Amino acid sequence: MFLEPSNKGKSKGWIEVICGCMFSGKTEELIRRINRAIIARQRIVIFKPSIDVRYDDVKVVSHNRNSVNSVVVQHPQDMLVLANDADVIAVDEAQFFDEALLEVLAALAYKGKRIIVSGLDMDFEGKPFGVMPQLMAMAEFVTKIQAICVCCGEPASFSFRLNNLKQQILVGEKDEYEPRCRVCFNQGMKEKETAKHSKYKKIELESDF
């Protein structure tokens, strides 16, 4: 479990990244760290991208419905002003922000602020997602958490999309994704590919979705 480093009372900035697949508990971990900072009476601001509209417009809500208030931002540059008075800056669903996030968070950390970023490290095709790889490289601390594979019960690092839609961004819930291990993820991708090439199966799939 991640515990905050001691800076012997000196204000020193750093970046923490919490990443993993869907249903791995990233947002719960983010909320846990935020709650500890709230108890310590630190000034906190939480940002989320305007694209993530699940459950609530202004709250960071995890799948188990824990929530904390947050500020919805369109552009990472807006964080520079909004985070001016904060000691701790949290960013949820960071994979949805553009590359400007990298410079903004580096600048805030340089100012002595603690940054906690949470996001999906891979998309539905198992490819690195948006700015997450760069953020993981820049961060002092990276926590990668795994879910449990719904097919075999092994640790899962992949978000398997249950439908055949192709766009990278599809904010979803349990009926659209499931966590899978590498083997079961690849198996599922192969099955999708086979289905695509089989006329009979294609009709069957289309009638399902």
Binding footprint of Zn ion on the chain (CB under 5 A): 149, 151-152, 154, 181, 184
Following DSSP, what letter does each residue of 156-183 receive, concatenated?
A: E-EEEESS----S-----TTTEEEE-HH
CA distance 24 to 20: 6
Q: Is 29 exposed, middle or buried (0-12, 13-18, 19+ CB in 10 A)?
A: buried
Closest to Zn ion by CB, 128 vs 155, is 155
Of 16, 29, 93, 178, the active-site residue reads 93
Q: How near is the Cβ of 27 to Zn ion at its closest, in Å?
A: 23
The verdict on whether 173 is a catalytic residue reads: no
Judge contact between 1 and 25, C-beta under 8 A. no
Phi, psi of 66 (to 5 degrees): -65, 150
Q: What angle do CA 16, 146, 129 make, to 5 degrees?
A: 60
Report DSSP state, residue 4: P
68/181 with CB nearer Zn ion:
181
Closest to Zn ion by CB, 96 vs 124, is 124
Other Cβ atoms closer than 10 A to 161:
20
CB of 79 to Zn ion, least distance (A): 38
Shortest reach from residue 155's CB to Zn ion, in Å:
9
User: Please, which residue, 82 or 183, has the CB nearer to Zn ion?
Assistant: 183
Here the tokens at position 197 are 């090439």
Within 10 angstroms of residue 113's Cβ, the number of other Cβ atoms is 22
Q: How far is the CB of 193 from Zn ion (least distance, A)?
A: 18
Question: Catalytic positions, please?
Answer: 93
